[in-house]
Structure 1
Amino acid sequence: MDVPDRMTAAYIEATGGVKNIRIGELPVPEPGATEVLVRMEASEVNHVDLFVRSGAFPTPMPFPFVIGRDLVGTVVAVGEAVEAFSPGDRVWSNSLGHGGRQGAFAEYVTAPAARAYPLPEGIDPAEAAPVLHAAGTAYIGLVREARLRPGETIVVRSASGAVGTAIVQLAAAMGAHVIAGASTGDEQWVADCGAADVLAKHTDDFCERVEHAAPHGVDVWWDPSGDDDFDRSVPLLAHGARIIAMAGMQATPRLPLGQLYTRDASVLGFAISNASAADLAEAAQAINQMLATGRLRGRTGATFHLAEAAEAHRALEDGGVRGRILILP
């Protein structure tokens, strides 16, 4: 495949605000021995992208640093040691733009072959991109951290967003009883994702309604918004329950320790950015299976092009977009 020498990219030369995002030409990168070069067809904006760009989540980043986490596209070249992919293959990745790896907001992107996965046949890149990061987070949280088992009860306190939606979809597919909190207007969407009980998220009696829906206690409690109220949630936990924490960088909630340890319960924190290539590859198998069968779906709330990367970051920071923010070349 013909590959140009230069490409358009969205990048930063120092961490900071949205104003630091630059749109310009950079050399098309050469894939290393264990890398693939991919022509980007779709990406998205995640909250972690804001943290990396601003410097709130410190990580090695060689400047100029291309921003963006998720990638869907077509392989155009492979490194000499790569055997799993060939030019023309459709692939995706959800762990770029971190740990020294350049990001996805460019016309051409290098990705480690160990962090690239085949895109199932017939899947539209614009449909896949909005779910990749969220679904990876959901899988690692449910499988590696929560060790969710069929028949257990999980509460997804904020189920309307991308991560909450993915948690509901994966937990339901794993055979769990899902109690989900939905924002106004999202009740049917959350139910369609697999929630057995859908409760209004913002009501004062949310926890009382959970207690009614789960009289024998909750096995897993996960609020992907990071707005944890342990004083109210811990008393609802079953013996051996797990609370998952993966959001709320500045949150400092009070923890009723006595009620936690007497239930043999635990609080487990993780960041998908720290996931190993093996963790992500395992998650990718489940993600691909659910994509191929139509059981993993997301919502796109806004679409921007690569040259509008700063506007896309600003839209996520400002809030108000219902659904994922899609990035197209």
Structure 2
Amino acid sequence: MKAVTYRRYGGADVLEYGDRPEPKVGPDTVLVEVRAAAVNPVDWKCREGYLDGILDTVFPVIPGWDVAGVVVRPGAAVTEFAAGDEVIGYVREDFLSRGTFAQYVAAPVRTLARKPSALSFAEAAGLPLAGLTAYQVLHRVLRVRAGETLLVHAAAGAVGSMAVQLGRYLGARVIGAARESGQERVRALGGEPVRYGAGPDELGAQVRALAPDGVDAAFDIIGGDLLRATPPLLAPGGRLASVADGGVTELGGRYAFARADATDLATLAALAEQGVLEVEIARTYPLERTADAFRHAEAGGTGGKVVVTAGPG
């Protein structure tokens, strides 16, 4: 099969397009023909070696955790899926080697759910990681409830836009912090936009103007100075979580990392099917141009997901 790999850590230039053996299908895995795979920040962090301290790496590595595709063959113990089923997956294992930027991926059944028919393959590929991150933080970490006010950083980005949509679905009032270019996107998703502008002080003034008594929960996706400026914006008893900066624990908040969960993923797919969740695509690239897709995504300000397509459809 054709796949994209890297044989050492580094920038996008280490990505190579070529032939790799088709993956074996174990008892609890599903061979999926990849139709689309989305680029996420964690993909280039893995490629650059930032996760070397927590994940073993078996070179050459096929990058990528997000996928949308069609089941070719289920493993012997798999009863959930059959050949021809359209699926989505957050195919993260406990080591780096077998990713989704390829024509085929052997995905553990625990990482998969049925693809929502309301989304194209490209859109569906952008749902798993961003959707699971937002869903699990809002439900299990921040425990956002109807009637509360939620502040979301980077609210026009992939994870942030999911958090805005899910927050509104939960019945919360959502204040979404974004660049000037993302203001309309936040508003269209049902959030109340505030600008990053000149920095944390200006942002804080805007949030206080909308929520003088503070926000009940804050979801950070940026880290750094903006994270450190967030605790004073919380109401008494307010909760704080970050997926970008482990220093959040020193501020009394919690650090979070998405986990593969078939039930959660199926819930997200159902919400997409109902029209509650949408995925915005900035641009698609063919598999052989995956390095260009990475460069595009890493440049930032894409206004949507960057997706690599493979196979028919």
Q: Same fold (TM over 0.5)?
A: yes
Counterpart CA distance in 2 for 1:317 and 1:186 is 17
What is the CA-CA distance between 1:49 and the residue it aligns to?
0.1
The equivalent residue for 1:32 is 26
SS in 2 for 1:312: helix
Deviations 1:260-313 (A, max 9, x none): 6xxxxx3110122xx2x4xx2232133112110122112222211111111111
Q: Is the Cα contact below 8 Å between 1:68 and 1:103 reproduced in 2?
A: yes
Deviations 1:75-125 (A, max 9, x none): 001111111111000011013365346100110110001111111234311
SS in 2 for 1:40: strand
Superposed counterparts of 1:147-158, under 5 Å: 147-158=143-154
Gaps in structure 2 of 5+ consecutive residues: none
1:296 aligns with 2:277: yes
The equivalent residue for 2:116 is 120
What is the CA-CA distance between 1:212 and the residue it aligns to?
2.2
1:223 aligns with 2:209: no
Quick one: structure 1 residues 239 and 35, their matched pair in 2 at CA, closer, same or farther if it must change by over 3 Å? Answer: same
Aligned residue-pair number:
306
The equivalent residue for 2:203 is 206
Q: Which amino acid aligns with 1:22?
A: E
Q: Is the Cα contact below 8 Å between 1:157 and 1:201 reproduced in 2?
A: no
Q: Which amino acid aligns with 1:291?
A: A
Counterpart CA distance in 2 for 1:174 and 1:22 is 43
Quick one: structure 1 residues 13 and 25, their matched pair in 2 at CA, closer, same or farther if it must change by over 3 Å? Answer: same
Q: Which amino acid aligns with 2:175?
A: I
The equivalent residue for 1:45 is 39
Quick one: structure 1 residues 55 and 232, their matched pair in 2 at CA, closer, same or farther if it must change by over 3 Å? Answer: closer
Deviations 1:176-230 (A, max 9, x none): 11111232233222112121x2222325532122112112221111221224435
Superposed counterparts of 1:49-198, under 5 Å: 49-58=43-52, 59-96=55-92, 99-100=95-96, 102-195=98-191, 197-198=192-193
Counterpart CA distance in 2 for 1:320 and 1:209 is 22
Deviations 1:38-87 (A, max 9, x none): 00001111000001111111212322221111010000011111111110
TM-score by length of 1: 0.87
The equivalent residue for 1:282 is 263
SS in 2 for 1:39: strand
Deviations 1:228-269 (A, max 9, x none): 4355422221122111111147xx68x9x7xx6xxxxx3110
TM-score by length of 2: 0.91
Quick one: structure 1 residues 98 and 67, their matched pair in 2 at CA, closer, same or farther if it must change by over 3 Å? Answer: farther
Gaps in structure 1 of 5+ consecutive residues: 1-6, 261-265
Q: Which amino acid aligns with 2:193?
A: V
The equivalent residue for 1:244 is 241
Deviations 1:119-143 (A, max 9, x none): 1234311121123211111011111
Q: Is the Cα contact below 8 Å between 1:157 and 1:222 reproduced in 2?
A: yes
Q: Is the Cα contact below 8 Å between 2:6 and 2:15 reproduced in 1?
A: yes
SS in 2 for 1:308: helix
Quick one: structure 1 residues 83 and 186, their matched pair in 2 at CA, closer, same or farther if it must change by over 3 Å? Answer: same
SS in 2 for 1:50: helix
Q: Which amino acid aligns with 2:281?
A: T
The equivalent residue for 1:3 is none
Counterpart CA distance in 2 for 1:30 and 1:296 is 34
Quick one: structure 1 residues 226 and 63, their matched pair in 2 at CA, closer, same or farther if it must change by over 3 Å? Answer: same
SS in 1 for 2:126: helix
Q: Which amino acid aligns with 2:28?
A: T
Counterpart CA distance in 2 for 1:283 and 1:145 is 14
Q: Is the Cα contact below 8 Å between 2:245 and 2:255 reproduced in 1?
A: no
Q: Which amino acid aligns with 2:235?
A: A
